[in-house]
Chain A
Amino acid sequence: MGKIVLNQVQKKFGDVEVIPPLDLTIEEGEFCVFVGPSGCGKSTLLRLIAGLEDVTAGSIQIDGKETATLPPAKRGLAMVFQSYALYPHMTVRKNIAFPLKMAKMDEAEIDKRVNNAASVLNLGDYLDRRPGQLSGGQRQRVAIGRSIVREPAAFLFDEPLSNLDAALRVGMRLEISELHKRLETTMIYVTHDQVEAMTMADKIVVLHAGVIEQVGSPLELYKRPRNQFVAGFIGSPKMNFIGGDAAVKYGVPTIGVRPEHITVQESGGDWEGVVGVAEHLGSDTFFHIHDTGLAETITVRADGEVGFKHGDKISLSPRSEMIHKFDENGLRIDD
């Protein structure tokens, strides 16, 4: 249950093509994350799958059934919205029971499923409260509860964590991952946060201006980004892109080195520079290095013990086996 196949799906708003025809297959039970900068069409793509927007052309198959023209409720999908979209005048119990009530399920079955969902999500004590009396994380859980009672073919999440504070976000991230492991249902998750994408996904779909830049597992994307956009988007801090003579040495127009693949020492390295800002996180230190003649700043991730300060002269050496090479169109060149 829960295989979703998009075939030549296209979306236009008037004359503007938001999503050029694209193909995508999401396997059964997979946790698939759509990631990209804002305005890249990831939410639109999710809403096309949900049926909240109509496709301009193309087909969407869910478990082999053509659904592109079906209304949202008939597609067997459940969605968790960014604002949670709970019904404020209903208690938590009624919120969770609402889809079942609309499906005209009998009372006993509704009760059973609501109680079951509540115990899975630790909402047992809050069933008779209204959404207004709950914290952000609890509301999030109610929204998830409302979608799991329907036992859908797939869950759709539209930036569900962006309204939570940082600490809660990490907690909910784990909870959703655990939920996925337990339910083994397909999940499609939209986010602009590449950390969420890397930590949760089985498969990441990187979108840019409506086009799929790359599809792959988190480590594939990290190790072998298909182009400069993916290379820059995945990984934090961002990859350093270096052009000019330093790249010509490797025989390509542009090379990319991740901050964690550069070593620093006082002198004797490949490149020289001056420390602009040093961010000490304890476990790691990030150096933003100027005046290298390579790029405006080069970011380096070093061990927490390394003690360079602002204004210090510093010498850098990239680990040559970790250098990514790109051609003039920004595409990856493999050796």
Chain B
Amino acid sequence: MATEHSRSAARMMMAPAVVLLLGWMLVPLMMTLFFSFKKYLPLRGDSMANGLDWVGFDNYVRFIGSSSFWPSVQATLIIVGGVLVITIVLGVLLALLLDQPMWGQGAVRILVISPFFVMPTVSALVWKNMFMDPTNGLLAHLFIFFGAEPVQWLSQASLQSIVMIVSWQWLPFATLILLTAIQSLDSEQLEASEMDGAPKLKQFWYIILPHMSRAITVVVLIQTIFLLAVFAEIFVTTGGAFGTRTLTYLIFQRVLESQNIGLGSAGGVYAIVLANIVAIFLMRIVGKNLDK
């Protein structure tokens, strides 16, 4: 029972955490908003000390008007969408497989989960140098072995390659969540559907998949949030070339390579808006699913 007294004590104790978190979120957000309305080119002598020129929505117009803006949005959506489709389809299949009785179940699960523990930078390096390298990569050797021409993965199929690397990293997460969902399915429901004359495929479609729908939406939501911010994989492999410049990467280039902080900040605000649109959209789907 919370009395008036204990409630105010609780507030007091929570206050430092709340203030710290708010500061953590709000200060960078405010700074981004502030800079996005300013002309801030440190290499041309702009600095906070001299005061920055207010340029209104110039940065916003320039960012969206740049020829690389729409391609970057497209690249972002392709990566996010591609990885989601691959991880969820394969994740469902893998979860079904791992749910079957077998020998060494625990060990197999660890093998499947292992990519999740590799740092994005490391995994990108491994894939780039040891698998996708056109001369020394294992995939090249494999192609030559079968008498095919090795693919220049990162230049000829750059987006696909990045989708593949990121999918490899996120497949364990999807599998793990979906596996727990399958395991929570009441076996009597499957038996009932068996008595009702549903063959395996229809059992999957009418019983197992709807049961997993909530877990799938959770996976979609969480992965989307992280995938919108994919950076290391692109930085390490293509450096944003060959059509792999995502919105995140474009902002990075504006700020650090072109040293245009104002323009980059405007891009950041666009990214926030995009992420929120996606999030609201997804939350609605999740909300609908949670109602059931």
Contact = CB atoms under 8 A, between A and B. Distances in A.
Interface in B199-243: 202, 206-207, 210-211, 213
A260 B211 CA distance: 52
Given A83-B188, A85-B186, A85-B188, A72 B194 contact: yes
Contacts of A88: 211, 292
Nearest to B198: A102
Contacts of B248: none
B2 interface: no
A89 B211 contact: yes
Most B Cβ at <10 Å: residue of A82, A83, A132: A83
A98 B188 contact: no
Contacts of B197: 73, 99, 102-103
A102 to B, nearest CB: 4
Given A85-B186, A89-B292, A98-B206, A79 B192 contact: yes
B114 interface: no
A160 to B, nearest CB: 12
A81 B188 contact: yes
A73 to B, nearest CB: 3
A77 B191 CA distance: 13
A282 B4 CA distance: 51
Given A98-B206, A102-B202, A130-B292, A52 B193 contact: no
Chain A interface secondary structure, helix, strand, loop or mixed?
loop
Contacts of A78: 195
A83 B211 CA distance: 16
Nearest to B194: A72
Main secondary structure of the interface of B (DSSP, over half): helix
A82 B192 CA distance: 11
Contacts of A103: 197
Contacts of A139: none
Task: Identify the interface centre among B193, B194, B195, B210: most chain A CB within 10 Å of its CB.
Answer: B195
A82 B191 CA distance: 12
B194 A85 contact: no
A79, A82, A150, most chain B CB atoms within 10 A: A79
A50 B186 contact: no
Contacts of B68: none
Interface string B163-196: 0000000000000000000000010110111111
A99 B196 contact: yes
Nearest to B213: A89
Contacts of B196: 73, 98-99, 102, 146, 150
A229 interface: no
B292 A85 contact: no
B193 to A, nearest CB: 7
Interface in B246-292: 292
In this complex, the interface size class of chain A, counting residues with CB under 8 Å from chain B, is 20 to 34
Nearest to B192: A85
Contacts of A99: 195-197
B171 to A, nearest CB: 26
A316 to B, nearest CB: 48
A87 interface: yes
B78 to A, nearest CB: 32
Nearest to B209: A89
Nearest to A94: B206
Contacts of A90: 206, 210
Interface string A65-101: 0000001110001110111011111100000001100
Contacts of B188: 81-83, 85
Contacts of B194: 52, 71-73
A99 B195 CA distance: 8
Contact of B192 (A77, A81, A130, A132): A81
A163 to B, nearest CB: 12
A87 B195 contact: no
Contact of B207 (A72, A87, A132): A87
Contacts of A72: 191, 194-195
A12 B196 CA distance: 26
B186 A83 contact: yes
A87 B194 CA distance: 13
Contacts of A132: 292
A87 B186 contact: no
A67 to B, nearest CB: 13
A146 B193 CA distance: 11
Contacts of B195: 50-52, 72-73, 77-79, 99
A83 B188 CA distance: 7
A207 B206 CA distance: 37
Contacts of A81: 188, 191-192
27 contacts: A50-B195, A52-B191, A72-B191, A72-B194, A72-B195, A73-B194, A73-B195, A73-B196, A79-B191, A81-B191, A82-B188, A83-B186, A83-B188, A86-B189, A86-B192, A87-B192, A87-B207, A87-B210, A89-B210, A89-B213, A89-B292, A90-B206, A90-B210, A98-B198, A98-B206, A102-B193, A150-B196
Given A73-B197, A86-B192, A87-B210, 20 more contacts: A51-B195, A72-B195, A73-B195, A78-B195, A81-B188, A85-B191, A87-B192, A87-B193, A88-B292, A89-B210, A90-B206, A98-B193, A98-B198, A99-B196, A102-B196, A102-B202, A103-B197, A132-B292, A146-B192, A150-B196
Interface of B: 186, 188-189, 191-198, 202, 206-207, 210-211, 213, 292
Ranked nearest first, the 8 interchain pairs of A and B with the lowest CB-CB distance are A73-B197, A85-B192, A99-B196, A85-B188, A89-B210, A102-B197, A81-B188, A85-B189
